[in-house]
């Protein structure tokens, strides 16, 4: 998925303080090998790469790309990339759009549009906890199968 480096006008500017808070929060867990706030290739996002020790062979990269806006809108994209060139991805969003309600989920394996209407907490910590729990179940399934 190509990186969008501009802030959509209907979402407002990037909330850089929130991205820093989220980065500090994610750094307290061992599941991420590297966390970058506003890297050169994604200056309006936080990118958190999972430690690949959580995955069985075949996964070459797994990451979260988080965009948070001053309007409290967000986009949290999860991607698993495989050595075969395939990807598995999904996305949690809260922003105005023509296809869904403001809060919606783009389901795997390709984060297709339109998404499914959803309901997310107003507290960013609850949003992240829900998403990390969902992804934890996904990762556990690698080991259970």
Domain residue ranges in the chain:
16-140
CA nearest 35: which of 21, 49, 51, 19?
49
User: Which residue, 46, 40, 41, is CA-closest to 14?
Assistant: 46
Residue at token pair 């061992």: 30
pTM for the whole structure:
0.88
Is residue 10 classed as helix, strand or coil in its secondary structure? Answer: coil
Residue with tokens 């994209």: 77
Nearby residues of 50 by Cβ (< 8 Å), 6 or more positions away? 31, 32, 33, 62, 63, 64, 139
| Residues of the chain under the 50 pLDDT cut | 1-2
């Amino acid at each position: 998925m190509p990186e969008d480096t501009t802030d959509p006008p209907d979402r407002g500017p990037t909330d850089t303080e929130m991205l820093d808070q989220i980065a500090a929060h994610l750094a307290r867990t061992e599941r991420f090998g590297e966390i970058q706030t506003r890297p050169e290739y994604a200056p309006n996002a936080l990118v958190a790469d999972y430690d690949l020790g959580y995955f069985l062979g075949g996964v070459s990269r797994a990451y979260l790309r988080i965009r948070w806006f001053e309007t409290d809108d967000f986009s949290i994209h999860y991607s698993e990339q495989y050595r075969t060139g395939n990807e598995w991805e999904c996305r949690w969003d809260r922003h105005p759009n023509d296809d869904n309600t403001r809060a919606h989920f783009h389901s795997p394996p390709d984060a297709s549009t339109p998404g499914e209407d959803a309901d997310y907490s107003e507290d960013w910590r609850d949003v992240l906890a829900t998403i990390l729990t969902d992804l934890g179940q996904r990762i556990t399934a690698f080991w259970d199968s």
